[in-house]
Amino acid sequence: MGLSCQEPTTTLMSGPGPRQNKRERFLLGVERVREKEPPEVVLVQGDTNTVLAGTLATAKLHIPVEHVEAGLRSFDRSMPEEINRVVPDHISDYLFAPTNAAREYLLNEGIPDETIHVTGNTIVDAVFQNLEIAQRKGDALSRFSLTKGEYFHVTAHRAENVDDKSRLQGIFHGLQGIQTEFDIPVIFPIHPRTQKILFTFGISYDGIQIIPPVGSFEFLQLEANARLVLTDSGGVQEETCILGVPCVTLRENTEPPETIDVGSNVLAGTDADRIVMAARKMLESHCGRTNPFGDGKAGKRIVEISKTV
């Protein structure tokens, strides 16, 4: 099988709409593309609705499916992302697990060992490559009048946090608490939907520097140079671990538990007092640069395995 990079030839869906409608549209779109131009193999990556729909549509047409980032588990089935992880893992033909821990989760669920390949996480590849590009592309710190190591960087997007008034209020009260205690900027690139909900709930964000969404390179710069990152994103937890930046997770669970194991991350939930205490703990921990996610060559390994399909 030959692999090459090219511009997308098909857009399956775009624009706003209810999540269920998007899944249905994507599922139908994938089926039409697969029937018209059947591929030799399909790769899906992550835990999005498109991963779930793409895997289901492909498997129904008896085309091999490969799941990148297989075996990640939060063990919280109330999260839509957890379903989007588990189902593809159980119907994919090849599973690319980022770590040995992820492999063990898959084996414990009865998935055959011969279908699992520990490759490292492609997020390491992306961080190494994109950080170098980001450093050449511009200076996000200058744009937002920030100094390296003298600000906190925040992300929050998960529905269970931003759609729940008490949770979102707890997050912002916690952010205000750490801003008051440490007296350095708290920068929050906020999604328009999250900002709309913030206004709808009437939650105060005094002391928090709300900025529009930034591009991936600027985001990586803000992340890499922060004194501390607070997030509900699994990917950001991994990135901060790779970058050696301490992290506080605004959730009660995490799908990359390796970040907890190596001490780069701590779970705080959405209670304001716990968020402040967690920030203190991580700022005192002198987080090192232990990276359990691989050497930045996961993509190359995946390609080599895919060539044998």
Residue 49 CA to residue 44 CA, distance in Å, equals 11
* Beta carbons of 95 and 71 less than 8 angstroms apart: yes
* Beta carbons of 154 and 230 less than 8 angstroms apart: yes
Q: b/e string for 192-201 if b means 16 or more Cβ within 10 A? A: eebbebbeee
Q: Which two tokens stand for residue 121?
A: 């996480």
How far is residue 149 from each of residues 141, 244, 250, measured CA to CA in Å? 10, 12, 21
Catalytic residue among 62, 67, 153, 157: 157
Annotated catalytic residue 153 = no
Quick one: DSSP state of residue 227?
Answer: S
* Pairing mode, strands 152-154 and 186-189: parallel
Determine the straight-line distance between the first and last CA of the chain, rounded to whole angstroms: 7
What is the signed CA dihedral for 295, 242, 291, 107, rounded to 10 degrees?
A: -80
Run of H or E including 267: strand 265-267
Residue ranges of the alpha helices (H) in the chain?
19-36, 49-60, 80-91, 100-108, 122-137, 140-143, 159-162, 165-182, 192-201, 216-224, 234-243, 258-261, 272-284, 298-306
For residue 304, what are the contacts with CB-CB under 8 A and spacing of at least 6? Answer: none
Q: Annotated catalytic sites, by residue?
A: 157
